[in-house]
Amino acid sequence: MKVLTPEGEEKNLMVLNIGPSHGATHGCLRYITALDGENIAASVGEIGYLHRGFEKMAERGTWQQVLPLTDRLDYCSAMMNNFAYCRAVEKMLGIEIPERAKVIRVIVNELSRIADHFICDAAAAQDLGSTTGFFYLFDSREQTMRIWEKLTGARLTNSYGRIGGLYRDTYEGFEEDVLAVCKTVEKNLHDVHACFDRNRIFLDRTVNVGCMTPEKAISYGWTGPCLRATGVASDVRKDEPYWDYETYDWNVVTGTRGDVFDRLMVRLAEAEESLKIIRQALKRLAPGPVSVEDPRVRVPSHERVYQDMEALAGRFKSVFEGIRVPAGEYYCGTETANGELGFTLVSDGSGHPWRVKVRPPCFTQFAAFHELVEGGMIADSIACLSSINIIAGELDR
Amino acid sequence: MATSGDNVKEPIVATPEAAKAFEEAALKALEKFGAVRSEKNPWGLTVVVDRCNLHATVLAMRDELGLDMLMDIVGIDYLGFKDYVGPRFAVEYVFKSVYEPAKRMMVKVLVEEADLKVPTISDLYGIANWQEREVYDQYGVIFEGHPDLRRILNHVEFVGHPLRKDYPAHRRQWLSTNDYLYPALEKRLESKGYRILERPEEINPSEEEYLQGSIKK
Amino acid sequence: MAVEAQEANFFTTKLDFIVNWGRKNSLWPFPYGTACCAIEFMSTETSPYDLSRIGSEYVRFTPRQSDVLAVQGTITYKQAPILKRIYEQLAEPKWVIAMGACATSGGVYDCYCTVPGIDNIIPVDVYIGGCPSRPEAFFDAMFEIQKKVSDESYMAQRKERLKEQWELLQAKTAQAKQELSEYSRAKAQELKEKAECLKNTAIRKAEFWKENP
């Protein structure tokens, strides 16, 4: 393509298409670039290759039937999405979940956060040519998966959250397993820091690449680790605490430059903070119920259903008609691994949601992708893409 | 380098009192635009404004109230909503403040089906560009003044707007060929000050050869 | 030892067996990963499961270098043309795995934008269940592909291919012959006309000189 540059030069630009099926696009997304030599003059992103109709499907079922679908939004940390959705519905119902459920949610949430951050960093390491980092980081993730299997029965898409609590209590030996994983995570973190921190190749590929200013990041609605990497200490867990996050002792991690290196390292540092929270939460794990005994949300157990007429009717009603959420419109944002995952819920007072709108954190990050890569080299765009952690399921819903 | 401990400032925590104070202040500040508190949201603050005041309201919210982040734009279709009287469509804007966590609010604009037009706010927030494209794609709401209003989640050959209540969930539509991003790239280049002198001729989506091997049912 | 090796430096086998043995132990997958199943495929690659045990650790991201197309995740209508094109780009011999419920049948997603199973677009050899499939299930699918590979006959395929080529060649020869005969006929006609023309000129010249000596 022959163009006249703003400086008045006549130049031949090459148009290069990347994706939707490319080794470094982590799922299906696509961007097309106009290259001036090796530098990117302009870039345009295109999404929607994994648009699976979450919002249309959510309108068809009851409020509880949305839960398995939320698993498949950010599939690297499925349970965080469950809890975020449950929290939004619980707020509308005005339900306070029991103490034990809160603590388990915090533990599971933070372990999921570690797993998600590790996947992002592992994929970034792989894209930058460091297979060693990939294997170190996946090691502790596999151990986490084993806990999930024992706890929920599934590896990836767990559906562990329930409106008003949890699917079931933890198994015997849960605490020891979590502590063992914490140890592995610490070891892996140490190894990965040894791998990356002073590695000349890694630093050359990441430092001062794909910089983002805080003003632009806020204008583009960035949240989570990517916003914190630009130096803005914004975290929903600290700002609007839920599940007693304010009582744990931990810090918000921020970066300074907002480049690829900061985004990757903020994730690793956040994993450390999550370890702190998990260790404190394990000490608070006291016996108690894991779901509220509110007849509006509680599905009666099978033992009661077989003996009690009222429980039978209650179960029948809650399964067929669904939970009756009071009519209204409400937005509730929860901090997940990628940033603030928001649910805008519209209820007409029946058992079916009228509208469920997801506010995916990836969407905002990919919308600003051209700001990151324009002016840089084409090889750096791959580093930029892996550092903002795009999960296609969440991006396109 | 970013590690825990250094460069950490303790953020301000949102309290119910601060949120309440903000709600009152916001209602007072937005009174001049005819903003009315919506009864539908007892859990937070939602104001309804007329669409001709939308741009001015959002500008005031950003500059005077300090709501510096646009979280989401939500389209809602009220066709068949229980006991509902009013325009069929609504567009909701969700805002929050990054530095002052107690500040969160929503703005709602009601639009009739016959005149589905809302002024754009993509000049105020960077993210509004894509979010408005999404609402256009799903509901067919036209954002006046939007620089590049085209489909984002569905493919180019899609007919209709899938999240409307009268679109059947199972109406599937095949795509015959891949999407074509050339015009968008040219637009982006032109917005950066480049001028296109010559277009490459190799790729022309209307050519028979390009469509070979595509799916058409 | 060395003498023995020199003396017995060959073994006899069937060509089919040796070709299939080579093929089935180096099946290089092309992961068309779109959603959750792709993450499980990444787990399959790591040391607890270790896909390199069956010689498939080389994940190629170009269809030109791979044998197995593993479709991992939901295929939407926006993606369908791309998947079809990638399938067409794969070199023969090729096999396809539909990994997970979404690729097999659409899974939980039954909506306006999802293809209900990739067999609407491309042929599939092995289907795996699960949402997402476990790494063990992916191994099972690879074993199924291996079985399928070892059942194939290279010689039979070669025969077919040769037959096709022979037919093509014959058709082409016939066409060339016809073209040649047409061409020669046209050429002969042309020469005839030329000769006629020359003859006429000569006659006219002779007549001219006769009249104007």
Radius of gyration of chain A (CA): 22
Q: Which CATH class for the C14-152 domain? A: alpha beta
Same domain, A308 and A253: yes
Peptide bond into C48 cis (omega under 30): no
The predicted model gives B89-115 an average pLDDT of: 87
> Are A39 and A79 within one domain?
no
Contact B74, B91 (CB under 8 A): yes
Contact yes or no for A363/B70 (Cβ under 8 A): no
Query: Quick one: tokens of C83?
Result: 């998947």
CATH architecture of B16-168: 2-Layer Sandwich (3.30)
A347, A290: one domain: yes
> Both A248 and A363 in a single domain?
yes
Burial class, B5, CB count within 10 angstroms (exposed 0-12 / middle 13-18 / buried 19+): exposed
The residues, ordered by sequence, that sit 6+ positions from A327 with a Cβ below 8 Å of its Cβ are: A347, A348, A349, B40, B82
* Beta carbon pairs, A and C, within 8 Å: 87
pTM, entire model: 0.85
Judge if A241 and A331 occupy the same domain. yes
- C-alpha span between A127 and A121 (Å, rounded): 10
pLDDT at B180 over 80: no
Highest-scoring range by mean pLDDT, A74-83, A231-240, C42-51, C161-170: C161-170
Cα of B165 to nearest chain A Cα, Å: 9
Domain residue spans in chain B?
16-168, 174-217
CB-based contact, A295 to chain C, within 8 Å: no
What CATH number did the domain enclosing A361 receive? Answer: 1.10.645.10
A307 contacts: CB under 8 Å, gap ≥ 6: none
Contacts of A193 (CB under 8 A, 6+ apart): A268
Residues 6+ apart with CB under 8 A from B182: A15, A32, B203
Query: Does residue A384 contact residue A207 with C-beta atoms inside 8 Å?
Result: no
**Structural domain span for residue A32:** 2-46
d(CA B214, CA A57): 28
Q: Do C111 and B169 touch (CB under 8 A)?
A: yes
Residue A71 sits in the same domain as residue A192: yes
> What is the number of domains present in chain A?
2
Say whether residue B175 is in contact with chain A using an 8 A CB cutoff: no
How many angstroms separate the CA atoms of A74 and C55, rounded?
A: 31
Any A CB within 8 A of B177 CB: no
Report the chain C residue with the minimal C-alpha distance to residue B155: C78
Q: Count CB pairs under 8 A between chains A and B.
A: 203
Token representation of residue A256: 């300074």
Chain A contact set for B194 (CB, 8 A):
3-6, 41-42
Question: HSE (CB half, 13 Å, CA atoms) of B69?
Answer: 24
B185/A34 Cα distance (integer angstroms): 8
Please give, rounded to a whole number of angstroms, the shortest distance from the CA of A32 to a CA of chain C: 15
Res. C168 pLDDT band, cuts 50 70 90: very high
Per residue of chain A (397 residues), what is the pLDDT tens digit? 787 888 878 888 888 888 787 777 777 788 888 888 888 888 888 888 888 888 888 888 888 888 888 888 888 888 899 999 999 998 888 888 888 889 999 999 999 999 999 988 888 888 888 888 888 888 888 888 889 888 888 888 888 888 888 888 888 888 898 999 999 899 988 988 888 888 888 888 888 888 888 888 888 989 889 998 888 888 888 888 888 888 888 888 888 888 889 899 999 999 999 999 999 999 988 888 888 887 777 787 788 888 888 888 888 888 888 888 888 888 988 988 888 898 999 988 888 889 899 999 989 988 888 888 888 888 888 888 888 888 888 888 8
Q: Are residues A76 and A208 in the same domain?
A: yes
**Residue C41 DSSP SS3:** helix
What confidence category does residue C173 fall into, taking pLDDT thresholds of 50, 70 and 90?
very high
When CB atoms are compared, the residue of C34, C112, C134 closest to A53 is C112
Identify from C74, C77, C111 which residue to disrupt to test chain B contact, counting B C-beta atoms within 10 A and taking the largest count: C77
Residues A28 and A82 in one domain: no
**ipTM entry:** 0.85
Question: Are A10 and A75 within one domain?
Answer: no
